[in-house]
Amino acid sequence: MACGHHPLLPADSNQAWNNEAVLSLLERHPSVVAWFNGHNHAGAHAERKGIHYVTFRSLLHRPETTAWSVVNVFADRLVIEGHGREESRVLNLRGA
């Protein structure tokens, strides 16, 4: 897993300016299964070439609620337990 502030995918106005260069780097390493980031407060998820790109939601625009997650790592999947604005999800890993 790798983390950064700006999203790489899905394509939108919030993504990192050099997203294609970073995507290319991540895709060369079979140990990378996910990229976690913030910045796009609405949240998002995409998958490309077996790598999950998760943008976690923010509480910035809804201060009356929370937005946080716990990521549980297993050999075959990542289980994201979302709280508040953040949704829970199961991400199956490539080759598992």
For 61-85, what is each residue's pLDDT tens digit? Answer: 777 888 999 999 999 999 999 999 9
Q: What are phi and psi of 73, to 5 degrees?
A: -105, 125
Domain locations in the chain?
Answer: 2-92
SS (H, E, C) 27-91: HCCCCCCEEEECCCCCCEEEEECCEEEEECCCCCCCCCCCEEEEEEECCCEEEEEEEECCCCEEE
pTM of full prediction above 0.95 = no
- Average pLDDT value for the chain: 92
Whether the predicted pLDDT of 96 surpasses 70? no
Q: Which of 12, 7, 10, 58 is nearest to 35 (CA)?
A: 7
